[in-house]
Amino acid sequence: ADTLVNWNVDILFDVLHRWPYPLPLAPRHPDDPKNYLNYLTQFKLDLKNRTTPYIHAHILWNYRAYPFLQRVVSLLRQGQFMGANFDETAINILLWQAKSNHTLCKIDPYFDGLSSYELSEKICKTYCHTAYILIHGSKNPTEMDNMVVRLKNHTGSPFIQTPQHGFHHLNETRYTCCYPDSHPSSIHPLLCEHRI
């Protein structure tokens, strides 16, 4: 595993409790790999059919999403989506096919951005609009142990990062972790609605 949870991870249960649709949720990926064009064609889609930005396959789901996830697993077992990013690509393609229009905020920043959270930096230069709920990407056990200690030292800290206004708590509703090409959803502040 290459992901740690922060002190605020339980809020994701609140998101799932409120989520009314039969689709899983996933955070916006910081970098769209754009290596899935052949799968768009195979599933009778094209670039304009993408209803959300590319998502990172750190998915959340409730019981309503079981049929969707069963379809993903079935297609993967049949050998579909071999190449590209495999399961992540499958989930993206099938979410676009289902006309999904919500993503989670980027809740899983890469571990090398942890110092921004620790320092509560006021200005963010890259990968802003982040909610520090999961920390992702390290494969080094010693580094992961160190990050657990670092995260514990910031229990209760504001965790919504903005480009120009530092870090804020989720209940400070004038700040959002949604990117400018989306809108905070009325369902939950960690959800972003895309009107593409």
Asked if residue 70 and residue 111 are part of one domain, the reply reads: no
**pLDDT of 84 above 80:** no
| Residue-level pLDDT at 130 | 96
Q: 38, 69, 100: which is the final residue of a domain?
A: 100
How far is it, in rounded angstroms, from Cα 61 to Cα 77?
20
DSSP 8-state class, residue 28: B
What is the reported pLDDT for 1?
74
Give the number of domains in the chain: 2
Asked if 118 and 154 touch (Cβ cutoff 8 Å), the reply is yes
Q: State mean pLDDT over 25-45.
A: 94
Query: How many whole angstroms separate alpha carbon 144 and alpha carbon 141?
Result: 5
Task: Tell me the mean pLDDT in the region 34-57.
Answer: 94
pLDDT confidence bin for 42, thresholds 50/70/90: very high
pLDDT band at 126 (very low <50, low <70, confident <90, very high): confident
Instruction: State the pTM of this model.
Output: 0.94
Find the domain containing 166 and state its range.
3-7+106-193
- Same structural domain for residues 157 and 175? yes
